[in-house]
Amino acid sequence: MAKPRPRRCLLGYSRTTDSEWFIIEGDEYDTAFFDKRSKFMHYLPEVAIINNLEFDHADIFENLEAVKSSFNHFIRLIPRNGLLLANGDDRNVAPLLNVTHCPVKRFGLEEGNAVQAFNIRYGPTATEFEIPSFKFHTNLLGELNVRNALAVVGCAKHCGLKNHQIQSALDNFKGIKRRMEVRGIAGGVTVVDDFGHHPTAIRETLRALRIKYPHQKLWAIFEPRSNTTRRKVFQNELVQAFDEADAVVVSEIARLELLTPEERLDPTKLMQDLNSSGKAAAYLPQVDTIVAHVAKNVQGGDVVCVFSNGGFGGIHNKLLESIGRV
């Protein structure tokens, strides 16, 4: 008997097993300096999941419409016998779903989605939600993880899994590094690492942390390091992104010299806007200065979340060591 043809599904980070399914994360960033097509244009997905669509990668895409165009081309790769699973609540995704060459199934929290979560219960250690035939729970927190789990449910059911099998996988999934990852506790202060480098990611992570730590003082330390947040593209959006934080510290823009003053994020204005909204905010360019400031002002029970898509000068260990000595 011939070996079954390997099938493909876009879902998350890649992991190779003996399954007939190969799962890989899609990447809209360009392929190489000589190939400006998004990386995912080189994939051949049988099932594709689009969870949300926003402007990002300002060094590659001119505007949101350019991002949509790339995703539109990607959708055309899905075969007739495949499936497009899409967030039915996302207004930027909606215009891309009027396709007839492949089946489309929407998931989300609002009415009209084929896979809809209801009776959602957010807790500090777990989240529950229901679909018409089953109640799921996950140890991950916040609305963003309900949406992620819904996408998993829709995809897994398409692949032939039953509800109890999906729940078993959710039970065993412990999350991934750099997504609300607790790096340690020192002096009663919890230091969290998060890869968030986009206003939406920062906002949703802080909302989830507020559920987990409802009464603690929540610090947000942000390094503008991505090619988008280094620019003024999200100057105003960043103010709202920190709504759930009690205190905000912003570091110097990474690779500052590569951007003109007209292009780059304005930390002074960001501080003014955060302070005007009643937020305690400080612009402290250097890592050691940030560490000293936080160590001096934190108290036992506080939570410090560091947002960066890089190593940020080893700030996590420096914070733990410095706070532990106070």
Burial class (CB in 10 A: 0-12, 13-18, 19+), 109: middle
Q: What is the pLDDT of residue 27?
A: 85
* β-pair type (104-108, 118-122): unpaired
Where do we find the tokens 């895409």?
A: 61
Segment 12-29 shows an average pLDDT of: 74
Q: At what angle are helices 199-212 and 143-158 packed, to 10 degrees?
A: 100
Going by pLDDT thresholds of 50, 70 and 90, the confidence category of residue 12 is very low
In single-letter form, the type of residue at position 10 comes to L
Where do we find the tokens 């959708």?
A: 75
- Please, are residues 310 and 225 in contact by the beta-carbon 8 Å criterion? yes
CA-CA distance, 248 to 304, in Å (whole number)? 10
- Please, are residues 111 and 88 in contact by the beta-carbon 8 Å criterion? no
Segment 14-35 shows an average pLDDT of: 80
Q: What is the pLDDT of residue 6?
A: 44
What is the gyration radius of the CA atoms in the chain, in angstroms?
21
Going by pLDDT thresholds of 50, 70 and 90, the confidence category of residue 90 is very high
Which of 203, 199, 186 lies closest to 299 in space, CA to CA?
Answer: 186
CA-CA distance, 307 to 291, in Å (whole number)? 14
Segment 175-181 shows an average pLDDT of: 88
Q: Which pTM value belongs to this model? A: 0.86
Sequence-distant (6+) residues with CB within 8 A of 155 are 9, 11, 47, 49, 83, 85
Residues 312-325 have pLDDT tens digits of 999 999 999 999 87
Handedness of CA 317, 320, 324, 326 (dihedral sign): positive
Rounded to 10 degrees, what is the CA torsion of 211, 205, 290, 236? -120
In DSSP notation, 2-19 reads PPPPPEEEE-SS-B--SS
Q: What is the pLDDT of residue 7?
A: 45
> Is pLDDT larger for residue 150 or for residue 8?
150
Query: How many Cβ atoms from other residues are within 10 Å of residue 310's Cβ?
Result: 11
Helices (H), the chain: 64-75, 143-158, 163-172, 199-212, 237-241, 267-276, 287-297, 315-325
Percent of the chain with pLDDT over 90: 73
Going by pLDDT thresholds of 50, 70 and 90, the confidence category of residue 232 is very high
CA-CA distance, 115 to 87, in Å (whole number)? 10
Q: What is the mean pLDDT of the chain?
A: 90
> How many helices (H) and strands (E) are present in the chain, helices listed first?
8, 17
- Please, are residues 254 and 223 in contact by the beta-carbon 8 Å criterion? yes
Handedness of CA 300, 302, 303, 307 (dihedral sign): negative
Structural domains of the chain, ranges and CATH numbers in brackets: 7-172 (3.40.1190.10), 181-325 (3.90.190.20)
pLDDT over threshold 80, residue 253: yes
Q: What is the pLDDT of residue 176?
A: 84
Burial class (CB in 10 A: 0-12, 13-18, 19+), 291: buried
pLDDT over threshold 60, residue 5: no
